[in-house]
Structures are given as structure tokens and as C-alpha cells.
């Protein structure tokens, strides 16, 4: 099976420097259990096909194990399980840049790469309401969203996500 890889090799910089030069930032849009999510592309080292994870004992249920990328181990996190308590049948993996953290996220598929202007990001309020568009269980792991081709895309808060994972291991 050949690996499908999308590598982002632009220099890391503040939002606007990684987009189309018009103040936008590139986001990788991906699907997890019929929901659309996004990460800034400046945080992503590669996207690859999920082949095998080496299980780890005594870890939270959302940790699928370790994957090996070019002799570097990355903890494989099942975002679907973490967000909505439902294990994902993901077939692809987003590997964060090593400078960010040695984490990889299991996803169903990559949908697109989009240039998003800061003004198009809608901050998600944390009020509990029955009519909230935010999927249940996301908490602080999603900080904003945007409209893309008629659908709501939720932006994962990488800092919160990494913090949550580290707290679960303390």
C-alpha cells in the first residue's frame, strides 16, 4: 500500500504568514465520524495512511499506541474517542511537527486545505445551551469554528489538547 502524504514545508510563523499573503491562514480540514475539524497547517508535519500502532499498557482509552515515523515514536491519539467518546475507524494520521509535540491524530480522511481569514473564525462560547452547534463533549478542545462549503468546521485547540493529554498522564 502506498502512503499518501501531504507535507507542509512553509516556515512557521504567525497567522497570515502561512496563508495566501492576504492575512489568511491555511487550515487542514479533515473528517472524524461525520464531523469536520481543522488544524492550522503550520502545526502539521505530514498526513499519512494509518497502518499499525504498537499498543501501550495503562494509558487512557483514546491513546491507540505508538506509531513510528522515520524512526521517531509518536503517540497516536484517537480524536473521535477523545471528543465524543466513540472510537474512530480512522484510516489516516495527522502527524504534528516534532517541535509542537510528538503526537499524531487518527482521522477518517482529509477533506481540503483552506485559506481562512481571522475574521471568519467564530469563537465558541462555553455556555451550556440545548441549541449549541458544538458537538457534545468537546469542552475547551475546540475554540473556534468557521463555515466551509455550507458546513460548520470546528478548529481544534492544539494547546488545550496537548495539555489535556499531559494532565491525563500525571
* Residues 130, 107: Cα–Cα separation, whole Å: 27
Contact by Cβ (8 Å): 89, 115? no
In this predicted structure, what is the pLDDT of residue 20? 58
User: Is 9 within the bounds of a domain?
Assistant: no
Per-residue pLDDT band for 7 (boundaries 50, 70, 90) equals very low
Lookup result for grid cell 461525520: 34
Q: For residue 5, is it within any domain?
A: no
Asked if the structure places residue 70 within a domain, the reply is yes
pLDDT (0 to 100) of residue 39: 96
Asked whether residue 3 is assigned to any structural domain, the reply reads no
Residues 140 and 5: their CA atoms lie apart, in Å, by 29
Does 16 map to a domain?
Answer: no
pLDDT of residue 125: 76
Total domain count, the chain: 1
Q: Can you tell me whether residue 93 is helix, strand or coil?
A: strand
Residue 20 lies in a domain: no
Q: Is the pLDDT of residue 141 over 60?
A: yes
- Asked if residue 105 is part of any domain, the answer here is yes
Flag whether 143 is in a domain.
Answer: yes
pLDDT score recorded for residue 87: 87
5 pLDDT above the threshold of 50 = no
pLDDT tens digits, 19-30: 556 789 999 999
Question: What is the residue range of 105's domain?
Answer: 26-168
The whole-number average pLDDT for the span 130-144 is 64
Scanning the structure block, which residue is given the C-alpha cell 521517531?
A: 72
35: which 3 cell numbers? 464531523
95/55 Cα distance (integer angstroms): 17
pLDDT, tens digit (0-9, with 9 covering 90-100), for 35-78: 999 999 999 999 999 999 999 999 999 999 999 998 899 999 99
Q: Give pLDDT tens digits for 71-108.
A: 899 999 999 898 888 888 889 999 999 888 999 999 99
Residue 118 belongs to domain with CATH number: 2.40.50.180
Amino acid at each position: 500500500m502506498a502512503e499518501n502524504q501531504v507535507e507542509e514545508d512553509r516556515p512557521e510563523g504567525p497567522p497570515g504568514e502561512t496563508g495566501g499573503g492576504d492575512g489568511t491562514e491555511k487550515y487542514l480540514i479533515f473528517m472524524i465520524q461525520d464531523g469536520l475539524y481543522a488544524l492550522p497547517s503550520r502545526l502539521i508535519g505530514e498526513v499519512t495512511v494509518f497502518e499499525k500502532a504498537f499498543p501501550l499498557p495503562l494509558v487512557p482509552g483514546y491513546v491507540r499506541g505508538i506509531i513510528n515515523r522515520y524512526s521517531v515514536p509518536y503517540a497516536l491519539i484517537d480524536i473521535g474517542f477523545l471528543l465524543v467518546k466513540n472510537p474512530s475507524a480512522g484510516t489516516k494520521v495527522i502527524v504534528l511537527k516534532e517541535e509542537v509535540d510528538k503526537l499524531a491524530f487518527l482521522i477518517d480522511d482529509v477533506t481540503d486545505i483552506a485559506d481562512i481569514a481571522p475574521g471568519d473564525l467564530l469563537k465558541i462560547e462555553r455556555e451550556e445551551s440545548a441549541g449549541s452547534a458544538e458537538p457534545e463533549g468537546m469542552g475547551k478542545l475546540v475554540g473556534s469554528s468557521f463555515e466551509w462549503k455550507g458546513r460548520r468546521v470546528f478548529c481544534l485547540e492544539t494547546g488545550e489538547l496537548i495539555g489535556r493529554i499531559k494532565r491525563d498522564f500525571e
